[in-house]
Amino acid sequence: MSKKELPVPQRLAGRPRHNGMIVPYFVAWYANGQQCNETKEGAQPSFPTTDYARLTTCRKQNRCWICGQGLGAFKAFVFGPASALARTSYEPPSHRDCARYAMQVCPYLTNPNHKHVSERGELNLRPGEQVIPEVQPDNPGVGVLWVTRHYTVEMRDPSRGIVVFIPGEPEYVELWTHGRKATYKEAADAVQYSIRKNNMLKGNVKELAWRVQQLLKFAGEPDAIVA
């Protein structure tokens, strides 16, 4: 199924579009180098850039990170393997259907070679734009959709307003790459890359091994072929 054939979740149908792409609720908009409301004439979205006011709105009002509407019983976190193993997210959760749709159409999530950085390793941002400092600019190759009923919130750096979301135990997990479910090998390779990239072997190795096992049990069958 092509991206054009994918049914758009009803909650996302009313979101603005830019170059044919739905702009998620969390994306910041800019006009003349200044952040502005998305309805302002001439406003352009900056897809890598977070609207911090909306992050706060999602956290305090239990709204979906992608569509901006109220969440129900299930909360779907979208992050990389490192965040799944650490059980932390710098982004609030979304509806399951919004998150699954993003896994199939978002260029950053569907293309493992897509990065928010230039060839010099610098973020591709315009003047005045910002991203969450702790978010890694490179792409681990596999995205994790972590569905849970509960989560907690911690303030990690009050001076900068850095909030961390801690997902509860998952009801189920999906691992995605290239807009489709990842094979076991693809998931395992991405997990190994994330462990090395984030120096996770310096911590509790026994706990890490258990979390890797718990995460990969949701991946496809070993060496499975995905059409």
Q: Is 92 within a domain?
A: yes
Query: Of 172, 185, 105, which is closest to residue 142 (Cα–Cα)?
Result: 185
Residue 124 lies in a domain: no
What pLDDT, on the 0 to 100 scale, is given for residue 193?
92
What's the average model confidence in pLDDT over 11-22?
A: 93
Q: Please indicate whether residue 140 or residue 17 has the higher confidence score (pLDDT).
A: 17
Percentage of the chain with pLDDT > 90? Answer: 64
Q: What is the pLDDT of residues 132-158, one digit of tens each?
A: 454 555 667 899 999 999 999 998 877
Residue 224 domain-assigned (yes or no): no
List phi, psi (to 5°) of 106: -65, 125
- Specify if 227 maps to a domain: no
Residue 180 has pLDDT above 60, yes or no: yes
Q: Give the pLDDT mean for 26-40.
A: 91
The answer as to whether 125 is a domain residue is no
Give me 193's structure tokens.
Answer: 């890359």
Q: Is residue 157 part of a domain?
A: yes
- Residues 40-61 have pLDDT tens digits of 999 999 887 889 899 999 999 9
Can you give the residue range of the structural domain that contains 34?
3-119+132-216
Number of domains in the chain: 1
Alpha-carbon span 188 to 170, nearest angstrom: 19
Q: Is the pTM of this model over 0.95?
A: no
Residue 126 included in any domain: no
Q: Is 188 a domain residue?
A: yes
Q: What is the distance between the alpha carbons of residues 7 and 227, in angstroms, rounded to a whole number?
A: 20
Per-residue pLDDT, averaged over 70-93, amounts to 95
Separation CA 71–CA 166 (nearest Å): 17
